C-alpha cells in the first residue's frame, strides 16, 4: 500500500506549492504544500512529514505524516502516523491512528467496514516512516494533473 516503497508514484517535493484541483490516476506522495482538492480515485496518497495540505481528499488510501486541514474520503483505508496533525472529518472503511497523532474531527466508518471486526488498528510507534523528503518536485508521472493556480513550480504533465 505504501507507494514510497514501490517507487511507482508521483512526488511533490517540499519546495512545491500547488493551489487548485489536483487529480490523477496513480499514487501520489505530497511533501510540499497543496491547497484546493485532491482527487485520486482508486489510488493512494501519502502526505509526507513536510507536507502541508489544505484540501478535501478523495483516494483509495490516505497516509498522513504531515499536516492536513480538510476532509478525507478514503474508500479503503486512512492512516494517521505519529507526526500527523489532522483537522477534518474522515470517511473510510478502515483507519489506523498511531500514538501521538493529533486529530480534530469526526470519524465515520462506512457501513461495509462497520460489520468487520477490528476495522481500526493502533499502530506501534516503531512503524516505518515514509522516506520521501525531496528538495524539489522530483517527478509527476503522466497520470497526475494539477489544475488551477500554481505558486512555485508545479508538477509536470
Site for other proteins contains 118 (CB under 8 A): yes
DSSP-based three-state secondary structure for 150: strand
| Cβ neighbours of 60 (radius 10 Å) | 17
Check residue 39 and report its DSSP letter. E
Instruction: Give the residue with the Cβ less far from other proteins, 42 or 100.
Output: 100
CA 9, 79, 76 angle in degrees (round to 5)? 75
Q: How far is the CB of 129 from other proteins (least distance, A)?
A: 18
Q: How far is the CB of 90 from other proteins (least distance, A)?
A: 9
Among 25, 119, 136, 139, binds other proteins (CB under 8 A): 119
Site for other proteins contains 82 (CB under 8 A): no
Q: How far is the CB of 66 from other proteins (least distance, A)?
A: 16
Of 5, 49, 26, 14, which is closest to residue 140 (Cα–Cα)? 26
List the beta strands (DSSP E) in 3-101: 10-12, 17-24, 28-30, 33-47, 52-64, 67-69, 72-80, 85-87, 90-97
Site for other proteins contains 122 (CB under 8 A): yes
Residues 6+ apart with CB under 8 A from 5: none
The piece of 32-40, 108-116, 133-141, 144-152 that touches other proteins (CB under 8 A) is: 108-116
The piece of 10-18, 26-34, 48-56, 93-101 that touches other proteins (CB under 8 A) is: 93-101
Instruction: Give the residue with the Cβ less far from other proteins, 115 or 157.
Output: 115
Interface with other proteins (CB under 8 A): 95-99, 101-109, 114, 117-122
Amino acid at each position: 500500500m505504501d507507494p514510497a516503497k514501490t517507487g511507482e508514484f508521483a512526488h511533490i517535493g517540499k519546495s512545491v506549492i500547488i493551489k487548485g484541483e489536483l487529480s490523477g490516476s496513480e499514487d501520489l506522495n505530497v511533501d510540499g504544500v497543496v491547497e484546493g482538492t485532491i482527487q485520486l480515485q482508486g489510488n493512494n496518497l501519502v502526505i509526507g512529514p513536510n507536507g502541508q495540505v489544505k484540501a478535501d481528499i478523495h483516494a483509495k488510501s490516505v497516509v498522513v505524516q504531515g499536516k492536513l486541514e480538510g476532509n478525507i474520503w478514503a474508500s479503503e483505508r486512512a492512516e494517521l502516523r505519529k507526526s500527523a496533525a489532522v483537522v477534518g472529518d474522515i470517511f473510510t472503511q478502515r483507519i489506523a491512528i498511531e500514538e501521538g497523532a493529533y486529530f480534530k474531527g469526526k470519524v465515520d466508518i462506512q457501513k461495509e467496514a462497520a460489520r468487520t471486526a477490528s476495522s481500526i488498528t493502533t499502530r506501534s510507534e516503531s512503524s516505518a516512516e515514509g522516506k520521501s523528503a525531496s528538495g524539489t518536485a522530483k517527478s509527476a508521472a503522466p497520470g497526475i494533473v494539477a489544475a488551477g493556480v500554481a505558486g512555485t513550480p508545479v508538477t509536470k504533465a
